[in-house]
């Protein structure tokens, strides 16, 4: 069995600070990390490998420095990393990202399962997984919280929904996106860290894949960011004090629920 895990490099914090004088964003010295949801995707793939034998390949699209997070993924148990990196890929929205990732998948070939995180912490779109599946023409299910059974032909799993859970049977090859509930990611072992140090991440540039240039990067992105701004939360904060706090709060709560 061959499993591909999609791994995105994201900023380590989402804090956006506002410069009070210039009214602009300050983002300084932010380290990059593996997108938190993708750590569950990695762990799940490695568990399948341990249970039934599989080759697990990490795939990322990003700047050359994203090689580091693929190496980190190797220290967490994946076998090999591929990084799609080229200036021609830059400026991609979710549609162009999915297309570019699909080129990497085609290069890797003969896969049975693709695992993505539910969403990336910088964009929170949760669109790349389903879009990638559609671009490849395979079935997908989002928000998987448990894999019940997997064999050469099918995967049976639990999906978390707004109303509860659903048990789903999917024909392979397929793509799933996973939520945090699915597992508890392990820490890298010393042995794996050594292996990671010595392994090579394969870089795929524009010339290494068979791409339609019109579908890449900014050019292949139907959506454009027109502007960005920091949301202003003008909060009227009232502290409830004194000996009758609970009584005061009770009246406030009653006021709120009677009104709505």
Partner 1 sequence: MASINIMKDKCVGCKKCVNACPFNAIEIIDKKAEIKPNCTLCGSCVSSCKFNAINFVKDEVEKKDISHYKGIWIFAEQRYGKLKGVALELVGQGKKLGEELNVNVTAIVLGDNITHLGEELIAYGADEVLLMDAPWLKDFNDHIYGEIMIELIEEYKPEIVLIGATSNGRSLAPHISSTLQTGLTADCTILEIDREQRLLLQTRPAFGGNLMATIVCPDNRPQMATVRPKVFKSLKPNYDREGKIIVLPVRSQIKSFVQKIRHIDNEQGANITDADIIVSVGKGIGNANNIKLAQELSSILGGAIGATRAVVDSGWLPYSQQVGQTGKTVAPNLYIAIGISGAIQHVAGLADIETIVAINSDPEAPIFKVAHYGIVGDCKEILPLLIQELKSKM
Ligand X SMILES: Nc1ncnc2c1ncn2[C@@H]1O[C@H](COP(=O)(O)O)[C@@H](O)[C@H]1O
Residue 120 in contact with ligand X, rule: CB under 6 A: yes
Residue 37 in contact with ligand X, rule: CB under 6 A: yes
* Min dist. Cβ of residue 202 to partner 1 (A): 19
Pick between residue 34 and residue 150 the one whose CB is nearest to ligand X. Answer: 34
Separation of alpha carbons 60 and 202, rounded Å: 11
Specify the pairing of strand 9-11 against strand 32-34. Answer: antiparallel
Q: Which of 6, 42, 133, 138 binds ligand X (CB under 6 A)?
A: 6
Q: Which of 24, 125, 161, 205 binds ligand X (CB under 6 A)?
A: 125
Two tokens at 220?
A: 């292949």
Pick between residue 18 and residue 197 the one whose CB is nearest to partner 1. Answer: 18
Pick between residue 46 and residue 133 the one whose CB is nearest to partner 1. Answer: 133
Instruction: Tell me phi and psi for residue 55, to 5 degrees.
Output: -100, 125
Encoded one letter per residue, x for contact with partner 1 by CB under 8 A and - for no contact, window 171-210 reads x--x----xxx-----------------------------
Specify the pairing of strand 2-6 against strand 55-61. Answer: parallel
Which residues, 48 to 77, sit near ligand X by CB under 6 A?
A: 60-62
Residue 144, burial from CB neighbour count under 10 angstroms (0-12, 13-18, 19+): buried
Separation of alpha carbons 65 and 254, rounded Å: 54
- Angle among Cα 200, 201, 203 to the nearest 5 degrees reads 125
Q: Which of 48, 57, 105, 160 binds partner 1 (CB under 8 A)?
A: 160
Residue 21, burial from CB neighbour count under 10 angstroms (0-12, 13-18, 19+): exposed
Separation of alpha carbons 145 and 232, rounded Å: 35
Secondary structure of residue 208 in the 3-state scheme: helix
Q: Total residues contacting partner 1 (rule CB under 8 A)? A: 98
Encoded one letter per residue, x for contact with partner 1 by CB under 8 A and - for no contact, window 14-43 reads xxx--x--x-xxxxx-x-----xx------
CB 71 within 8 A of CB 79: no
Pick between residue 80 and residue 208 the one whose CB is nearest to partner 1. Answer: 208
**Out of ligand X, partner 1, none, which partner does residue 60 contact, by CB within 5 to 8 A per kind?**
ligand X
Given the rule CB under 6 A, which residues bind ligand X? 6-8, 35, 37-38, 41, 60-62, 94, 97, 101, 116-117, 119-120, 123-129
């Amino acid at each position: 069995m061959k499993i591909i895990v999609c791994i995105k490099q994201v900023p380590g914090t989402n804090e956006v600070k506002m410069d009070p004088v210039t009214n602009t964003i300050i983002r300084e010295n932010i380290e990059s990390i593996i997108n938190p949801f993708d750590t569950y995707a990695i762990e799940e793939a490695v568990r399948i490998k341990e249970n039934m034998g599989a080759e697990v390949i990490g795939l990322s699209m990003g700047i050359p420095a994203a090689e580091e997070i693929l190496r980190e993924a190797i220290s967490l148990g994946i076998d090999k990393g591929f990084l799609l990196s080229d200036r021609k890929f830059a400026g991609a929205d979710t549609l162009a990202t999915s297309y570019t990732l699909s080129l990497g998948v085609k290069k890797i070939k003969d896969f049975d399962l693709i695992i993505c995180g539910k969403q990336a912490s910088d964009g929170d779109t949760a669109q790349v997984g389903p879009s990638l599946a559609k671009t490849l023409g395979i079935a997908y299910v989002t928000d998987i919280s448990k894999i019940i059974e997997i064999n050469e032909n099918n995967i049976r799993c639990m999906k978390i929904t707004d109303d509860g859970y659903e048990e789903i049977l999917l024909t392979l090859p397929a793509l799933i996106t996973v939520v945090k509930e699915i597992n508890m990611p392990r820490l890298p072992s010393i042995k794996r860290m050594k292996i990671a140090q010595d392994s090579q991440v394969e870089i795929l540039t524009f010339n290494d894949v068979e791409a339609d240039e019109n579908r890449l990067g900014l050019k292949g992105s139907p959506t454009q960011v027109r502007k960005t701004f920091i949301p202003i939360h003008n909060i009227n904060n009232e502290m409830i004090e004194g000996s009758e706090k609970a009584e005061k709060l009770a009246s406030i709560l009653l006021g709120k629920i009677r009104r709505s």
